Amino acid sequence: MVKQSFKLGDIEFSNRVLAASGTFGYGDEVKELVDVNRLGGIVTKSLSWKPRDGNAPRRIAETPAGMLNSIGLANIGVHKFIEDKLPYLRALKTVKVVNIAASSVQEYCDVLSLLDQQQGVDAFEINVSCPNVKEGGLSFGTNCDMVREITAELRALTKKPLIMKLTPNVTHISEFARAAEDAGADAVSVINTLIGMAVDIKTRKPKLSTVTGGLSGPAIKPIALAKVYEVAQAVKIPIIGVGGISTVEDALEFLLVGATAVQVGSINFIDPSAGPKIADGLAAYGEKQGLGDVGQLVGAMDSNVEFSVLQSWL
């Protein structure tokens, strides 16, 4: 049997496939559709201190090979999460990664400190990259000093794994990954959504109420892969690859370019059992290749390409 598990700090994930934030609710919405314990982990929708209604409709638009969203961090708030959602999550075997979004450094600290005391919260993923809110979001995630500061402040408040989720809407994502690593992050999630838009030609109005939104799905996979590859050359901490992963082949590509684990997002809206299927597929591939551990695939791409162009920008 090929080993599928991996560790971040003290936390052991049973396999290398997690459900991405915002695509799996708080784990309970999908429990009739999929055995969530077959995932390595689930990442919750971003939580803020107070509940948020999010942006006005329309908040979703389909695009070729992808989707645009402008949810605006709608969520039930950290207190209701602890009361209503955590008891269900606590009973699950899968690793529970709680995603936090905030509009100030203090709010990140307050939400994390409260959650850090709770049983059933195994790790944190910090959203410094929501494209759809005025305060916080991208204004934090596109400022390297802010990413460093938020990481350092939160690092001082928790011993649990701290994962910074980075935006691709910058020139060199590797600089942000380095800032997160220097400030004590245990891992980075690469990438969050890309800014995109769509226009309804009948009404001549933007399809999203906020005009622009976050693009996800298969359309962004090659971009995400290149960003993971870039970050893998720059940091030693684990990278969680995310962006358009829908099949086991996609997941394998991410591992080969340097991702320690992957998250599946948009595909959950089509097939909520995609994650466990991909995890099984990784194990089957490892078995076929005669590997003892799926982890042997991490960064195992053969980059000896003849006529390769030296990527001096890396």
Query: Under the rule (CB under 6 A), what is the footprint of ligand DHB?
Result: 22, 69-73, 127, 129-132, 192-193, 214
From the number of C-beta atoms within 10 Å of its C-beta (0-12, 13-18, 19+), residue 122 rates as: buried
Closest to 6 measured CA to CA, from 291, 15, 255:
15
Is the Cβ of residue 131 or residue 275 nearer to ligand DHB in the bound state?
A: 131
CB of 73 to ligand DHB, least distance (A): 4
Contact 141, 176 (CB under 8 A): yes
124 neighbors 153 (Cβ within 8 angstroms)? no
- The pair of structure tokens assigned to 101 is 């979004």
Minimum CB–partner distance for residue 72 and ligand DHB (Å): 5
Q: Which residues fall within 8 angstroms of residue 49, CB to CB, at 6 or more apart?
A: 77, 78, 102, 107, 110, 111
Active site residue 130: yes
Query: Closest approach of Cβ 210 to ligand DHB, in Å?
Result: 9
Catalytic residue among 18, 36, 128, 130: 130
The nearer residue to ligand DHB, 4 or 193, going by C-beta atoms, is 193
Q: How far is the CB of 78 from ligand DHB (least distance, A)?
A: 16
Contacts of residue 295, Cβ cutoff 8 Å, sequence gap at least 6: 3, 6, 16, 260
**C-beta of 197 vs 301, nearer to ligand DHB:** 197
Nearest to ligand DHB of 43, 297 (CB atom): 43
* Residues carrying an active site annotation: 130
